[in-house]
Structure 1
């Protein structure tokens, strides 16, 4: 099995340097329309990011156990060739990421883990570091890559590259890029829409590196008005533990009040805005979908 680097760990110095540069840019050229940085919010984002480096080690154990079983069973093997197969692996991983990311917005149990990343009302490079401390997908969305012969190490490498790419798009300091770039790649403009909490911006632009998946599968929305960041029902805490668990607590309260297994399953697997007796949020306008306690 190839020994591939963890792009996230190698990029930490760059994350720190770019964040400092962005902070300085706000000090030199403040913009009253941009939130910039606030101390407690930034501290929470950094704490969530550092915590995720530790907690993710535990969540990766079942994922890699699954990958190793699948890799031992499949007869296929894809060699790691930097200028041929690695770009194809990255393409395949990005496709799987799109569906994984989309599911974390459309299934409340998975939204409970992902809501952490959307909980800040600021949008800056530190927001990129506000990562969940849980992962209930257990790597299942990337299992097809392993079945096709991509080694578990290569899957992990591609995932780390995808995560590193998304760091720089968490900023308001970069406006729209040239049209060909905006058409193909995920950019700050596209990702600002994804983090917005208003109207037709909800549950849009799920792509990681590429935005073409959203264009192909009907989830793309361009940035046409200034985003309002955060949740449709914001939390008022900077406590990292509460940030990491508040939606699990809300889900637990709903499960406790449910009348029977049909409602319990509805709360778990319908969209975050689902309530008994209502049409499934999947059939409703996306403006009613993304709700968090």
Structure 2
């Protein structure tokens, strides 16, 4: 087992095995190009609440810096979670997997990428419907802008994803491949965070997650909430009934704006809100609802609107 751990750890640390590490220069280049194209854009005060509405493809310096800082910290925090995952995945792969798939076989990579994408869809959907997991994800949705910097606004708590990937080592996929597969997904998803690309060729829009589909996912409009969870493929949303087409430009951000650019507050605010609701609750049933119910759940909301949400 230790030989397997060491081999997997070496693969995890080697930058040439990590598509995200390879893609960082491309991320920076595309971000700068998009920012330069947006320099003359202004925020337009055309929202009903009187707040400035970000121009299409626009950037705001403090917002972009916040996203980059959140992403930078997430590199360190994700390394911690990957260490834990590597130990667990290696033990499962060595002792419990009924077979070991070869990384040199093409079908291993097909199984890996389809498995990663299907499990990502499942986790992503849960993350929007279970408040304690939404707490890990909501910072990514907190920006009222939608551009390449938004893609960097990542979570610091990856525990849910780590648990969701557990079936993959059971299937005999080498642990290091799991991290490579998810990195491929992250690289792909970076490029769907833009308003500079319209709708693509219809077959592509039907099969793959595209900028148009992901704009819907980041919309706080009622018709766009809890839609388009797919990572690389959008077919999961079509199959499981969570797909929505882009019919108008979304209003980005949370339904209740956070009003801060403090990265610690952005990552912890929902945990703090859960703790307050727990403390104020008078029954264990309600406490369970505040933790494991959908975002925005309350005893009153349960009686009046089961689909109530605050994200």
TM tier, shorter chain? over 0.9
Partner of 1:22: 34
Residue 98 (structure 2) pairs with residue 86 (structure 1)? no
Name the CA distance, whole Å, in 2 between partners of 1:280 and 1:46. 41
Per-residue deviation, 1:69: 2.2
Superposed displacement of residue 208, structure 1: 0.2
1:23 Cα deviation from its structure 2 partner: 1.1
Shift of residue 202 of structure 1?
0.2
- Per-residue CA shift, 1:29-58, capped at 9, x if unaligned? 889641511010000000000000011122
Equivalenced residues, count: 288
**Relative to structure 1, is the Cα distance of residues 82 and 239 closer, same or farther in structure 2, using a 3 angstrom cutoff?**
farther
Q: In the alignment, which of 112, 137, 142 is matched to residue 119 of structure 1?
A: 142
**Residues 38-57 of structure 1 correspond to what in structure 2 (within 5 A)?**
38-57=60-79
Corresponding residue number in structure 1 for 2:87: 65
Give the match for residue 190 of structure 2: 167
Bigger drift between 227-236 and 255-264 goes to 255-264
Contact 2:66 2:261 in 1 (8 A): yes
Q: Is the 8 A contact 2:41 2:58 kept in 1?
A: no
The 8 Å contact of residues 113 and 136 in structure 1, kept in 2 or not, is answered as no
SS in 1 for 2:165: helix
TM-superposition CA deviations, 1:37-84 (whole Å, max 9, x none): 101000000000000001112222332232122112212111113643
How far has the Cα of 1:136 moved from its partner?
A: 3.4
Report if the CA contact (8 A) 1:190-1:222 is conserved: yes
Q: Provide the rounded CA distance (Å) in 1 between the counterparts of 2:266 and 2:22.
A: 27
**d(CA) in 2 for partners of 1:269 and 1:69?**
30
Which residue of the partner structure matches residue 156 of structure 2?
133
Q: TM-score, normalised by structure 2?
A: 0.87
Structure-2 change in CA distance of 1:82 and 1:176 (3 Å): farther
Q: Which of 9, 12, 25 in structure 2 is aligned with 1:13? A: 25
Mark the runs of 5 or more structure 2 residues left unpaired by the alignment: 1-6, 45-54
Question: 5+ unaligned residues in a row in structure 1: which ranges?
Answer: none
SS of 2:195's equivalent? coil
Identify which range, 61-70 or 227-236, moves more after superposition: 61-70
Asked if the contact 1:198–1:228 (Cα under 8 Å) also holds between the matched residues in 2, the reply is yes
Q: Is the 8 A contact 1:19 1:125 kept in 2?
A: yes
- Indicate the SS of the match to 1:27: coil
Residue 235 of structure 1 pairs with residue 254 of structure 2: no
CA distance in 2, matches of 1:196, 1:91: 26
Structure whose CA Rg is larger: 2
TM-score normalised by structure 1 residue count: 0.93
1:213 paired residue number: 236
Structure 1 vs Structure 2 CA RMSD: 2.0
Change over 3 Å in CA distance of 1:208–1:255 after alignment to 2: same
